[in-house]
Amino acid sequence: MRASVIIALKDLSQRIRDKSAILLGLVAPLGLALIFSGIIPSDTTSFDVKVGVVDNDGGSISATFVDQVLPAIEADEIMTVTAYTDLAALESDVEAGDQNAGYVFPAGFSDGLLAGQGGTVRLIGNVDSSISTQIAKAVLDGYLAEVDAVGIAVGSALVSGAVDVDAISAAAVQTPAAVVLTDVAAASRELDVTTFFSAGMAVFFLFFTVQFGVSSLLEERFYGTLPRLLGAPISRWSIIGGKALTSFVLGLVSMIVLAVATTFMIGAEWGNPVGVGILMVCGVLSALGIMAVVAVISKTAEQAANWQSIVAVALGLLGGTFFPLSQGPRLLALFSKLTPHAWFLQGLGDLSAGSGLSSVVTPALALVAFFVVTVGAAMAFGKEVLAP
Amino acid sequence: MNVLECAGLVKAFDDLVAVDDVGFHIAAGETYGLLGPNGAGKTTSISMIAGILEADAGKVTVAGKEITTRSVEGNVEIGYVPQDIAIYPDLTARENLRFFGKLYGIPKDRLATRIDEVLAVIGLAGRGDDRTDEYSGGMKRRLNIGIGLLHEPSLLILDEPTVGVDPQSRNSILESVELLGRSGTAVLYTTHYMEEAERLCDRVAIIDGGKIRAEGTRRELVELVGQRDTINLGVVGSAKRLVEALQSVGEIESITAAEGTVEILVEGASGLLPRILDVAQQSGVSVSGVEVVEPNLESVFLHLTGKALRD
């Protein structure tokens, strides 16, 4: 351990001296976080979906949606709803981008549903507002799913003749709004924009920062100092330990400084410090393991740096450090779980939403799993790394 | 008492046997040379002796402690100076020395003094706080040796320390090694320069093709060759034609030709030289220079391996 610390202290002094670790570990992520959070509004609730509604039905089901469900969402500042009487006007506004999406309830829609004949609501979306259109669709889907379920109950009741149709219809139209709002509220589990970009840039550049330690073994070979270390009265594990310790310290310090800096400078809300600390430690370990694999299969420090950059960027993009995964394709969110970045951000998101420390257990275990698997691979592939 | 004892060292890289049954010993205060051309197995041998490279077979002990790639305790007894300059260019000489001094467990209060002593010995006392990437090649070489000396090892291993060094620095390095031998340090010195081995080494092993071909003091090795002299002829024209013509001179023991020179090993050069020059004239090859070299380690190497040391 003593030898590992001596080696790590030497490596850290070299990294501080050449300033590369400071640039990649602190300046670049902090700068980008500041830029991104400055460009993109920091208040997610200001993400406003503008929808128009044409209600040619006027029946109880469409009326409830228009008069009760949509106003409730509008009150939460998620949507701005405009009523239209003219379908062509709505289509024109959606096409022009004045509205993100539009609902069109055809005449006889409610009667058709209540008679068990079904019906169709038309949703018009602006091609440049795919996310807003998806939100509008989700609201409508949630409502219609509940109407459909209650509709079956109404049908059954009519057969038995034992209930009041108006009362059941009223119950049916009351139910969906709450369900729809619950779905929308689930989005609050994501980080606000400022915190998202602070954390995203921190974990993205973490992979660049930790590479300095693990790749320095290749530099030792380049400078010819590796044989000296191998001949010194220290174990070979202490050499590897020193390099790993360098990576760990660089990564953790970079994350901590970024968390503190973004908290005070741009108001990022990282969440419970203990939970954040656990995620940071596990995140640094996972990055260390992945970069160690790349280092041991590389021939030179330069080759390692090139591959590590490619891996860091690819994992960062896939892991959703540049945009919230919820706004991308579902498949991307699925594949993102193959990256430590996604687990780290998920853990922070849960913490930020006020979930307890238990919410970081799964992300932390996933990050540790990355570390265990990759370190195992590095040891398997890296038998030659300590050859003189 | 022997500081280093090694026996039966073997190392193969796939099908290539780089070191084959190498063994020798070095006493305290003795300077031992491994003399051989590039690729002879010198660096591989000392890498195993220093515990850097795992041996396929054989045993090494230094100051009575066994040395392997897993040993720790015994490595304190060894100072290793690799062939390539092995220093951190972005650190100062003092920082380089401090780092390795800590690794070798030199106590903090002793380390600062020892660093000053070493900087003085290697002639860098006034430049100790400069980054080493500002050093000349010779200064880097001297620091390279200084790091090996820092912890006052029982055995100092120097792997071709004068390769690529200017004459002034080279002389300084050789003087340092002579001083070390006199101070009681056992020195293992590899080189392919015959003059260095003759000047520094109490005993020399001639190594080629991974095997030690002969071992002994300079006198003992030269006796292997007998009174054979080497005649070096500078030639204008076909050296190959001269070599063919000289086959008729029965007293010649061996001939090697390089571009513009022919090296002839004979017993009693003075008696045979006129005949050799006659043969050269008759074969139509002009002789531009003649040098007669009395037996030395170069001749021994030629005698033992059939090739020149520089090959």
d(CA A167, CA A279): 51
Residue of chain B whose alpha carbon sits nearest to that of A238: B103
Q: Which of the pair, B272 or A369, is modelled with greater confidence?
A: A369
Q: What does the pLDDT read at residue A160?
A: 45
A224: left (phi over 0), alpha (psi -120 to 50) or beta: left
Nearby residues of A167 by Cβ (< 8 Å), 6 or more positions away: none
Per-residue model confidence as pLDDT tens digits over A302-325: 888 888 889 989 998 888 888 766
Instruction: Please give the span between the terminal C-alpha atoms of chain B, in angstroms, as a whole number.
Output: 36
**In this complex, which of B52, B84, B102 lies closest to A230 when CB atoms are compared?**
B52
Residue A165 scores a pLDDT above 50: no
Q: What does the pLDDT read at residue B309?
A: 65
Residue B311 scores a pLDDT above 60: no
- SS3 assignment for B166-231: CHHHHHHHHHHHHHHHHCCCEEEEEECCHHHHHHHCCEEEEEECCEEEEEECHHHHHHHHCCEEEE
Residue B61's nearest CA partner among B17, B104, B9 is: B9
Q: What does the pLDDT read at residue A216?
A: 86
8 Å CB contact between B161 and B141: yes
Quick one: average pLDDT of A209-221? 85
**Which residues of B fall within a CB distance of 8 Å from A231?**
50-52, 75, 78, 80
d(CA B299, CA B197): 13
**Which residues of B fall within a CB distance of 8 Å from A219?**
none
Per-residue model confidence as pLDDT tens digits over A286-301: 999 999 888 888 888 8
Q: What does the pLDDT read at residue A388?
A: 67
The residue among B46, B52, B97 with the most chain A CBs within 10 A of its CB, best to mutate, is B52
Q: How confident is the model at residue A47 (pLDDT cuts 50, 70, 90)?
A: low
> 């620091």: which residue's tokens?
B143
Q: How confident is the model at residue B169 (pLDDT cuts 50, 70, 90)?
A: confident
Q: Tell me the average pLDDT of chain B.
A: 88
- Between strands B2-13 and B57-62, the pairing is antiparallel
Q: What does the pLDDT read at residue B170?
A: 84
**In this complex, which of B53, B80, B89 lies closest to A223 when CB atoms are compared?**
B89
Residue B7 scores a pLDDT above 90: yes
Quick one: average pLDDT of A27-56? 72
The residues on A that touch B, with CB distances below 8 Å, are 3, 6-7, 10, 13-14, 17-18, 223-225, 227-236, 387-388
Q: What does the pLDDT read at residue A214?
A: 80
d(CA A372, CA A85): 62
Per-residue model confidence as pLDDT tens digits over B224-257: 777 678 888 998 878 888 888 888 888 888 888 8
pTM, rounded to two decimals: 0.71
Contact A14 B89 (CB under 8 A): no
Contact B82 A228 (CB under 8 A): yes
Per-residue model confidence as pLDDT tens digits over A64-98: 888 888 888 888 777 889 999 888 999 889 888 88
Q: What does the pLDDT read at residue A158?
A: 47
> 């320390």: which residue's tokens?
B161
**Which residues of A fall within a CB distance of 8 Å from B105?**
233
* Contacts with A, B 33-92, CB within 8 Å: 47, 50-53, 69-70, 72-76, 78, 80, 82, 84-91
Length of chain B: 311
Q: How far is B12 from chain A (nearest CA, A)?
A: 14
Q: What does the pLDDT read at residue B55?
A: 92
Cα dihedral: A339, A342, A347, A352 (round 10): 160
- Between strands A101-105 and A122-125, the pairing is antiparallel
The total of other beta-carbon atoms located within 10 Å of residue B279's CB is 17
Q: How far is A386 from chain B (nearest CA, A)?
A: 9
Quick one: average pLDDT of B51-70? 92
Instruction: Please give the span between the terminal C-alpha atoms of chain A, in angstroms, as a whole number.
Output: 22
**In this complex, which of A10, A223, A231 lies closest to B80 when CB atoms are compared?**
A231
Q: What does the pLDDT read at residue A22?
A: 80
Q: What does the pLDDT read at residue A54?
A: 92
Quick one: average pLDDT of B198-221? 89
d(CA B56, CA B45): 11
Q: What does the pLDDT read at residue A349?
A: 84
Q: Tell me the average pLDDT of chain A.
A: 80
Q: How far is B73 from chain A (nearest CA, A)?
A: 6
Which helix H or strand E contains A159, and what residues bound it? Answer: helix A130-160
Q: Does B158 touch chain A (CB under 8 A)?
A: no
Residue B110 scores a pLDDT above 90: yes
A155-159, B11-15, B137-141, B246-250: which has the minimum mean pLDDT?
A: A155-159
Q: What does the pLDDT read at residue A274?
A: 92
Q: Does B163 touch chain A (CB under 8 A)?
A: no
Contact A231 B89 (CB under 8 A): no
Contact B69 A236 (CB under 8 A): yes
